[in-house]
Structure 1
């Protein structure tokens, strides 16, 4: 049996109140769409994943998906129904037996639930996951109640909705010219197809508003129970120059720091701490000083790479604590700029970034003003 998935990601998602379409907004460091796709990639019985995106979102999509093994995306239409038809059309040449159609903004669908839906669709031909309506439902006119609706026959629809491929493809083609229908179950109903319900999952909610996004962020972090700590330390000597770069911020000084890259000792220590927390070696493994492509490179690149490795593992940064050790230059006037640069670089709240400075009371190489040292501790959260 060949199983395909269509992930509908062509909407604009204006109600979430962001500049980007909601499927591309970050959720614990990765786009919502990437979380959604990842859930389906974990199901071994799925053979094909077809995304349907907006024609203006190609660059956003490529950044969100990266190197994940998916079919090339197709562009959606003006309505969800038109977008699904285009996804079905693109899958027709592959002749799948079943197709699951899922909203991109539902990132919490579990692989086990997907498997249950596939099994039910194989048996019944058309399946929709639903949840009971638990609140009393009122009928209103303006600001006044006009009645109470019997909720015993009502259900809340979810996705993925699963069908025999030819069945739902023909149904979509037959209803394409009608008033747009809001989900694929409605398309099936309009063609007289009997749809079977299966229990849904409370966690499989659709991110629609800013409040939903906050809820999703909280839920995602609750899953990250593997808490790790990494430590980094680095030293760079002074050389003739007129400024040093610390935490990505240029600071006027009577010397510069000597190094193969921009010699940002603070970001180097942070990078090593982050790499250590996830067991990925040290900065020299990823950016060897013998490689000329890193000569003079901004250390932002190194720290961002370490953060990307963490995000690839499904993790997030809990906090960073950095101590810069030197007699000069004075760090405090630049503290806020340094802190904000790191927060922006790693997409963190500034209160998760701590930067301190100290001297060695004139002792050692730092006390003799021969260079600057930095040490960092980073705490990360990963899924078990």
Structure 2
């Protein structure tokens, strides 16, 4: 899923993805302790997300993970109290885990030492060779899509991890290690809604399950700058041949400034003047493409996705139509969106006002964002 934000921090119906799983485990009588394994660079953010409005009678530890999933799970195991009998390993990117499924898996593990939820495959599955040719068709009646939580006797799982480490074996999940070194794992009927968020489409499905469809935000941006001599004219990141340019602290690109304000407005993040003050020497003559790139990072951090941007440049001169295509391509590439998601128009002001009198150039922009919890 292409986003600069860890998917477990994205918001769904007003709370982060990870809190849904924490709510389930914190409410189970069988659970004595919870350990959250986080990327080493995200430890403080993870702690803040957990502390933000989350109350639990269970102690919650946050520990750094490793380079591979298996290393991270082992770090979590090492942080648990050795006196515990069973351990449940769950992927926090599965926010729709139900209490009932968690209880079923725990009960099965008590009976069989290890259990995991699985959903029977609905599709025909084929094994292919390296060239993509079908080798044979698998028996669908015996194929399951495995989910989490996976629950094991803790001493046995720890032993499996030690043996895997000694042999340099990496498995795709914990059940693989248990199967290899300890014995069979019981499959418990899983739930279709217990899906893992991997793609944007998965996020849309999860929002649908939660009835969280209030996920669009719109913003408007406007800017105008005076035309003066001895300045380059830059619009939409493109240098336009003209005898005058726009006066400003940065490169005075009114189009990109309007787009920045529209994006910030839709995300509820203030305006361009707040983030890039015109008295700050760091932004003296800076390219507005750099400012737009920073705005993209800001909205990514708030879990927003750009749906479309519509812009209008108001200028009597020069004639801008030949440059609009380059503007669209450059902006689309920088923002990581399709070229059809941005529209740029150029018009005159029929001789009215500063733009109409040729004293300056103005631009307007409207941006539509989708939020994973929105965005």
| TM-score normalised by length of structure 1 | 0.71
2:80 aligns with 95
2:297 corresponds to 1:308: yes
Contact kept, 8 Å, 1:131 with 1:202, in 2: the verdict is no
The 1:220–1:202 alpha-carbon spacing in structure 2 relative to 1, beyond 3 Å, is: closer
Contact kept, 8 Å, 1:118 with 1:162, in 2: the verdict is no
| TM-score normalised by length of structure 2 | 0.72
Q: Deviations over 1:160-204 (max 9, x none)?
A: 534454431212223553976553213223413654525143562
Pairing partner for 1:336 from 322, 325, 334: 325
2:6 corresponds to 1:34: yes
Contact kept, 8 Å, 1:257 with 1:371, in 2: the verdict is yes
2:245 corresponds to 1:256: yes
Contact kept, 8 Å, 2:310 with 2:343, in 1: the verdict is yes
Pairing partner for 2:190 from 191, 199, 207: 199
SS, match of residue 366 in structure 1 = helix
CA drift of 1:216 comes to 4.6
CA drift of 1:242 comes to 4.8
CA drift of 1:352 comes to 0.6
Q: Which runs of 5+ in 2 are unaligned?
A: 11-16, 27-33, 48-61
2:115 corresponds to 1:132: no
The 1:74–1:333 alpha-carbon spacing in structure 2 relative to 1, beyond 3 Å, is: same
2:347 aligns with 358
Contact kept, 8 Å, 1:233 with 1:272, in 2: the verdict is yes
Pairing partner for 1:47 from 35, 59, 63: 35
CA drift of 1:262 comes to 1.3
1:345 aligns with 334
CA drift of 1:236 comes to 0.4
Q: Deviations over 1:241-279 (max 9, x none)?
A: 252111111112111211111111111111111122222
User: Separation in 1 of the partners of 2:128 and 2:225?
Assistant: 70
SS, match of residue 269 in structure 1 = helix
SS, match of residue 192 in structure 1 = coil
User: Separation in 1 of the partners of 2:140 and 2:264?
Assistant: 57
1:183 aligns with 173
Q: Which runs of 5+ in 1 are unaligned?
A: 1-24, 52-60, 77-82, 208-212
2:97 aligns with 113
CA drift of 1:342 comes to 0.9
1:13 aligns with none
The 1:143–1:234 alpha-carbon spacing in structure 2 relative to 1, beyond 3 Å, is: closer
Report which stretch shifted further, 324-333 or 93-102: 93-102
Contact kept, 8 Å, 1:99 with 1:164, in 2: the verdict is no
The 1:337–1:136 alpha-carbon spacing in structure 2 relative to 1, beyond 3 Å, is: closer
Contact kept, 8 Å, 1:117 with 1:127, in 2: the verdict is no
1:273 aligns with 262
1:55 aligns with none
The 1:258–1:143 alpha-carbon spacing in structure 2 relative to 1, beyond 3 Å, is: closer
Contact kept, 8 Å, 2:235 with 2:255, in 1: the verdict is yes
The 1:256–1:68 alpha-carbon spacing in structure 2 relative to 1, beyond 3 Å, is: farther
The 1:301–1:150 alpha-carbon spacing in structure 2 relative to 1, beyond 3 Å, is: closer
CA drift of 1:330 comes to 2.0
User: Separation in 1 of the partners of 2:315 and 2:168?
Assistant: 72
CA drift of 1:280 comes to 2.0
The 1:367–1:68 alpha-carbon spacing in structure 2 relative to 1, beyond 3 Å, is: same
| Superposition RMSD in Å | 3.8
2:206 corresponds to 1:234: no
Contact kept, 8 Å, 2:37 with 2:75, in 1: the verdict is no
Report which stretch shifted further, 233-242 or 192-201: 192-201
User: Separation in 1 of the partners of 2:357 and 2:260?
Assistant: 26
User: Separation in 2 of the partners of 1:179 and 1:278?
Assistant: 45
